[in-house]
Chains A and B, each alone.
Chain A
Amino acid sequence: MCPPEHFGVLYEINPWMHTEVTVDLDKARAQWDGLVRVLRDAGATVDVMDPHPDLPDLVFTANAGIVNGAQFVPARFRHPQRQGETAYDVEWFSARGYQVDELPVDVRHEGAGDALPFGAGLISGYRFRSDAAAHAHVSRLTGAAVRSIELADERLYHLDLTLCPLDERRAIVAPLGWDRYGRRVMEAVVAEPLVLEDDEALAFVANSVVVGSRVVMPSCPPRVGRQLEAWGFEVAVVPVDEFLKAGGGCRCLTLALDVTL
């Protein structure tokens, strides 16, 4: 994770961002600290990278790249505003002994934000930020099967706003965000889906972090909470609304390092 020292809505690259909205930095820091605390309570180890004054979105580490054991595939960001992050991400992972394997320069892929491990491989979103053409390269570099899902609603511009894998059979899903082919693929892949209503999806409910049996969520409608508890999960809601101003929730603020594809 990366602390929100220099976080802010300084540009608009998704429908949630409005530069006239002011971020309360103290509140953001308190919310971020709260998220770290809840994750640690759940049993996670949190490594922190240094913030950078020119890179307000560096807090959204989910987009840094794809982690596969000791391999790191850095993102290729769509927008120039975020492309500067990659050098710092690569530096961080290199310093920790990761093997860095890069995607070709002519494709875009925004890391774990658009690639979630599920169903014996990766599910990867495309259209708004990542290119479908990147998926074959991701597959070649990681050795994992990559199923492509076309994202259909610009408000849900990354896959991790539409999908939260819970365990091998279950996932929180937001079909609102997928085209009809993507819906059919996900129906085949997710044995037991917890299907979000459209308004729930737009409240970033799927942008949650799962640590063991704890689901750390930016918000949780009672209906969703009941189903998660019925499945044996505990729900921890952490308000991160300062970050929602930039279009990111709990999941976007984290990058899982314990992933082996």
Chain B
Amino acid sequence: MAAVDVVEIEGHIIDSLTLAKVMDVILAAGADYRVVDVAIGRTNADVSRARIEITAADEDTLDALLAELKVHGANRTDSGDAQLADVERDGVLPPGFYSTTNLPTSVRIEGRWVDVENPEMDCAVVLRADGRARTYPMHRVRIGDRVVVGQDGVRVAPFERPRGASPFEFMTSEVSSEKPKALLVQDVAARITRAKAEGGKVLAVCGPAVIHTGAGPAVARLVGGGWVDVLFAGNGFAAHDIESNVMGTSLGVSLQGGLAADGGHANHLRVINEVRRYGSIEAAVDAGYVDGGVMFECVKRGVPFVLGGSVRDDGPLPDVYTNVVEAADAMRYLVTGVTVAIMLASTLHAIASGNLLPAGVETYCVDINPAVVTKLADRGSHQALGIVTDVGLFIAELADVLC
């Protein structure tokens, strides 16, 4: 993880070229800097002062660089230890709690920097009895938990786009419909292949449009081929996936003929009703009621999934979490180890998943509507790369490349 610190230097640092030298030294060490502020002395006798934030590849590089800069009078500004306060009521954080970003974060405890586990935005940092620090959503804190308050002793590594040949490289804008899709498919496939080879997990987040556009079989191939390790979706996606396999329609529309089936508007209700009769999707698969599709492949391959509910759900399917806090916790549990996330034609679930993912997770958001990626970025998931295209065509191509 990148290491960051702020140094302060004062004196006649402009006339002495000390500031220029310090910047050169930082760059020569392969690190980067950002001038936080500079106060130039007004008169000849006034000293000038500058604060410089340094980002190095790792702690060792940073420490060596800090030692070198000390010679030139640039000293680390001491932010002190992180302040801690006790939780006094279950599910309620102390006032002034430090609110996290999804970036790699560390907190200083008794002079030592401790990495915060499971970076997740909009959480608190709890220092556990064993000395480890980790993010906790508000509702999970309990009386007596020690929570970081204020900004002192907290340091956050800046967001870095992955380097090297990648879609990130030729995507100068975060969202664009004017990019060569075939090239993007190749690159996303390469990223997934590499993530899998490195032992990372791939998360797929699916909206019902995946089924409506006929991309269900392609996603099922990806799951069946072992390319998806975790699946997040809602009641609609699972219901229409099962409907399309049992009845051949999605929301009553024939996926073969493209015409509304007679009485088809009730097809998904009948399917949900039958799965409820079996008790779970897994039971419906085991009984042979469901014999294909994304959910079928998930059950067959043991791919964990979370179906998060919403107020407009029909049924819902018995596997759906109707308590959203429990749904988010279930998702939170499964994102550990995910290194690539693909958001497919989903707004609510994509944003919910984006909220849970550390900034280091490569996130591809495939949607015909660029607004979804914009929403994701606006909510802090700056790592999301938008691919504005028809999800059906994109996924079919991706499955062809990978499977």
Measured CB to CB, the residues of A under 8 A from B are 120-121, 126-127, 131-133, 135-136, 139-140, 143-150, 179, 181, 184-185
Query: What residue of chain A has the Cβ atom nearest to residue B21's Cβ?
Result: A181
User: Would you call A148 and B12 a contact (CB within 8 A)?
Assistant: yes
- Does B73 sit within 8 A of A, measured CB to CB? yes
User: Would you call B44 and A185 a contact (CB within 8 A)?
Assistant: no
Contacts between chains A and B (CB distance < 8 A), count:
62
* A47 to B126 Cα, complex, angstroms: 67
User: Would you call A132 and B73 a contact (CB within 8 A)?
Assistant: yes
* A149 to B15 Cα, complex, angstroms: 10
In the bound complex, residues from chain B placing their C-beta under 8 Å from that of A144 are 45
* A85 to B207 Cα, complex, angstroms: 79
Cross-interface CB contact of A136 among B11, B15, B70, B71, cutoff 8 Å: B11
Given contacts A135-B11, A143-B45, contact A148 B73 (CB under 8 A): yes
In the bound complex, residues from chain A placing their C-beta under 8 Å from that of B73 are 126, 131-133, 135-136, 148
In the bound complex, residues from chain A placing their C-beta under 8 Å from that of B71 are 126-127, 132, 150
* A145 to B72 Cα, complex, angstroms: 17
Query: What residue of chain B has the Cβ atom nearest to residue A138's Cβ?
Result: B11
- Does B322 sit within 8 A of A, measured CB to CB? no
Given contacts A120-B44, A144-B45, contact A139 B17 (CB under 8 A): no
Q: Report, as a range, how many residues of chain B touch the other chain.
A: 10 to 19
Q: List 11 additional contacts besides A121-B45, A139-B47; criterion CB under 8 Å.
A: A127-B71, A131-B73, A132-B73, A139-B11, A140-B47, A143-B45, A145-B12, A145-B15, A145-B44, A150-B72, A185-B17
User: Would you call A148 and B11 a contact (CB within 8 A)?
Assistant: yes
Query: What residue of chain A has the Cβ atom nearest to residue B16's Cβ?
Result: A148
Q: How far is the CB of B65 from chain A (nearest CB, A)?
A: 16
User: Would you call B17 and A181 a contact (CB within 8 A)?
Assistant: yes
Query: What residue of chain B has the Cβ atom nearest to residue A133's Cβ?
Result: B73
- Does B99 sit within 8 A of A, measured CB to CB? no
In the bound complex, residues from chain A placing their C-beta under 8 Å from that of B18 are 132, 148, 181
Measured CB to CB, the residues of B under 8 A from A are 10-13, 15-18, 20-21, 44-45, 47, 70-73, 75
* A184 to B18 Cα, complex, angstroms: 11
Given contacts A120-B44, A121-B44, contact A146 B20 (CB under 8 A): no
* A147 to B70 Cα, complex, angstroms: 17
User: Would you call B17 and A136 a contact (CB within 8 A)?
Assistant: no
Q: How far is the CB of B66 from chain A (nearest CB, A)?
A: 13
User: Would you call A132 and B72 a contact (CB within 8 A)?
Assistant: yes
User: Would you call A185 and B45 a contact (CB within 8 A)?
Assistant: no
* A127 to B21 Cα, complex, angstroms: 14
User: Would you call A149 and B16 a contact (CB within 8 A)?
Assistant: yes
In the bound complex, residues from chain A placing their C-beta under 8 Å from that of B75 are 133
* A118 to B156 Cα, complex, angstroms: 45
In the bound complex, residues from chain A placing their C-beta under 8 Å from that of B70 are 133
* A185 to B20 Cα, complex, angstroms: 12
In the bound complex, residues from chain A placing their C-beta under 8 Å from that of B21 are 150, 179, 181
**Top 3 A-B pairs, shortest CB-CB distance:** A132-B73, A148-B16, A136-B11
* A136 to B15 Cα, complex, angstroms: 13
User: Would you call A147 and B10 a contact (CB within 8 A)?
Assistant: no
In the bound complex, residues from chain A placing their C-beta under 8 Å from that of B20 are 181
Q: How far is the CB of B403 from chain A (nearest CB, A)?
A: 59
Residue of A131, A132, A135, A149 contacting most chain B CB atoms (<10 Å): A132
In the bound complex, residues from chain B placing their C-beta under 8 Å from that of A131 are 73
User: Would you call B44 and A147 a contact (CB within 8 A)?
Assistant: no
* A139 to B47 Cα, complex, angstroms: 7
